[in-house]
Amino acid sequence: MKPILALNAFDMKAAAAGGVLEERLRERASVFGSASVLFYERPLEFVRSAGCWLYDAQGVAYLDAYNNVPSVGHCHPRVVAAISRQLAEINVHTRYLHPHIIEFARELLATVPERLSNVTFTCTGSEANDLALRQAAHFTGGDGIIVTQAAYHGNTARVSEVSPSSFTDWAPPPHVRVVAAPDVRLTSTAGLASSFASQVSEAIADLERHGHRFAALLIDSIFSSDGVFADPPGFLRDTVDAVHRAGGLFIADEVQPGFARTGSAFWGFQRHGVEPDIITMGKPMGNGFPIAAVVTRPEILDALCAKVGYFNTFAGSAVAAAAGRAVLQVIAEEGLMENARSVGDHLKRGLKELAARHPEIAAVRGAGLYLGVELIQPASGAPAPERASAIINALRSRQVLIGAAGRFGSVLKIRPPLCFSVAHADQLIGSLDEVLGEAQ
């Protein structure tokens, strides 16, 4: 398995970029060292952005079909204004009272199942998943965690243990089990629900057999890094039932599918008609301002707090609240969930039409504006990661930005800002059609 950070990554050793770019790469390597990760064979430098567009120093516009953090659009004026206004007024931690953070918490909790009535703010999705794992451990008394084969849940020490896709060479720690992504190509559509549930049940049994009490199933409800698996809606129900029967918790990592992206529901888990015990969220929550959160039932939070305090200095400030509230308002007032659904459907149809003409497309998957296009070598059916990389770089040359995902890096990952239009979708489809038609 290729580490997720190596997907569509620039190879510093291959650098012969020339001119300003080469100088910038050298400068960057000297300060960031081996932790410097850049996209593309020929990295991009952007200096301005708006809506679904990123601009380089020469003013060339790139269509953004990749970035899900600036989810309501790059530099959305209402979000920028809300943050800027609050920054000038007050910005301190939550150990003093402030009305806005309570209002933000209420607005956020209104989007989730009623029993999940407590929110803890953090700054990043990694911090949110780290805290969720601690809550699950304290509540269940267990440490056994189940994740998918190519999962990525964040970058802290504890969360890295359950993020196979971060490593160059990963063996699961003793308390972790992995299950294959819910791919209908490995089973039938009708059989997917029971087959995924069986895998999870077997993993639970194996954990218990090895002395690790089962604590939680942690999954991204659209299985982003596994390669985007969204359908059929509802297939997670049997699995969540199995988790609960075993006394474990279901943690829905909504960092990727949350905040209206799937088009049909505000949260990814809602498409499946299941209720998580813990929900984690992040990326699009502040449209780029670093905010994230864990939402759970009071008794689960209580189990942690009885033993250890949790306080996060920057999280839940009045500025974080201003950013988060502005994002919720823009999603509602600009109808971005409906837009994600309608433009997502249009885009998916267009991609499926490409699949009918280009045999190297094995599957078009996803929901709303989170889509995956799986590439294979037509002759053998084998995954085609090099081809995925070539396509991503060819699209970059046509000023269209997408990414890669999946266990083999062979899935094109398409998740634009939610203000993506039909015209943007058509540009992406047209460019991809050209690239797919080129001689390999």
Instruction: Please list every residue from 265 through 304 that binds its own copies, using CB under 8 A.
Output: 282-283, 288-290, 298, 301-302, 304
Does residue 87 bind its own copies (CB under 8 A)? Answer: yes
- CA 19/CA 134 separation, integer angstroms: 49
CB 120 within 8 A of CB 294: yes
Among 72, 131, 251, 419, binds its own copies (CB under 8 A): 131
Does residue 13 bind its own copies (CB under 8 A)? Answer: no
- CA 87/CA 323 separation, integer angstroms: 10
Sign of CA dihedral 229, 233, 235, 240: positive
| Smallest distance from its own copies to CB 138, Å | 11
Does residue 43 bind its own copies (CB under 8 A)? Answer: yes
Task: State which residue, 180 or 305, has the beta carbon closest to its own copies.
Answer: 305
- CA 248/CA 250 separation, integer angstroms: 7
| Smallest distance from its own copies to CB 234, Å | 30
Q: Is 405 helix (H, G, I), strand (E, B) or coil?
A: strand
Q: Scanning residues 301 to 330, which ones bind its own copies (CB under 8 A)?
A: 301-302, 304-315, 317, 319
| Smallest distance from its own copies to CB 348, Å | 25
Task: State which residue, 45 or 353, has the beta carbon closest to its own copies.
Answer: 45
| Smallest distance from its own copies to CB 262, Å | 20
Q: Which x/- pattern, by CB under 8 A, does the window 88-127 give for its own copies?
A: xxxxxxxxxxxx--x--xx--x-------xxxx--xxxxx
Does residue 49 bind its own copies (CB under 8 A)? Answer: yes
- CA 289/CA 322 separation, integer angstroms: 10
- CA 73/CA 288 separation, integer angstroms: 10
- CA 396/CA 306 separation, integer angstroms: 51
Does residue 140 bind its own copies (CB under 8 A)? Answer: no
* Six-digit token string for 360: 């190297």
Does residue 67 bind its own copies (CB under 8 A)? Answer: yes
| Smallest distance from its own copies to CB 195, Å | 31
CA 121 centroid distance within chain:
18
Does residue 155 bind its own copies (CB under 8 A)? Answer: yes
CB 417 within 8 A of CB 393: no
Does residue 77 bind its own copies (CB under 8 A)? Answer: yes
Q: Is 276 helix (H, G, I), strand (E, B) or coil?
A: coil
